[in-house]
Amino acid sequence: MSEKAISDALNKIPYGFYGVTSRDGEDMNVMVVNWFTQVSFEPQHVVLGLQKISYSHGLMEKTKVFGVNIFDKEGEEVIKQFAKSREKNPDKFKSANYSEGPATGVPILDEAAAYLECEIVEFVDTGSGHDVVVAKVVGAGVRKEGKADDTLTLLDLGWNYAG
């Protein structure tokens, strides 16, 4: 099978666009991700594809917690401000509105339609420069009612990050 065929097939998967927050004391970060999904019911586990060299990876290794901020389509401009790396945008929280997650203390972005607070169970090395982060959901909140098809995706942005 050709690499192009594999890429074309992977690009047919609808990817969400989420704000993942992490914190170690006063050191906080938010990054956007799209490789995220639920993988079990009991306990409720999720997985996140995370680049090993990302700033957030280091924070998560230390604290073993993170937050997933789920935006609806109206939140496009809010989340896009976090799309640049920590290196290019070192003070991402300067203009961010957030509160501390009640279960983990990670920053929860006020404009998110919903959020999850997660405790890391395991980092799985994929041999690709990314880890799969397996985590248990320990807290959550819904701030704006809606359905899954209201959630912001890469398709809504006209962006592509697969293949």
Q: Does the residue 107 lie in any domain?
A: yes
Q: Does the residue 25 lie in any domain?
A: yes
Q: Does the residue 69 lie in any domain?
A: yes
Q: Does the residue 62 lie in any domain?
A: yes
Domains identified in the chain, total number: 1
Whose structure tokens read 């004391």? 25
Evaluate if residue 161 carries a pLDDT over 90. no
pLDDT digits (tens, 9 = 90+) for 47-102: 999 999 999 999 999 999 999 999 999 999 999 999 888 888 888 888 889 999 99
Q: Does the residue 85 lie in any domain?
A: yes
Q: Does the residue 144 lie in any domain?
A: yes
Q: Does the residue 102 lie in any domain?
A: yes
Provide the token pair at 72: 């609806």
The domain spanning residue 22 has which CATH number?
2.30.110.10
Q: Which domain holds residue 99?
A: 15-35+55-117+137-157
pLDDT digits (tens, 9 = 90+) for 105-138: 999 999 999 999 999 999 999 999 999 999 999 9
Euclidean distance between CA atoms 2 and 9, whole angstroms: 11
pTM for the model stands at 0.94
Euclidean distance between CA atoms 79 and 92, whole angstroms: 11
Query: What backbone phi and psi angles, to 5 degrees, belong to 130?
Result: -125, 150
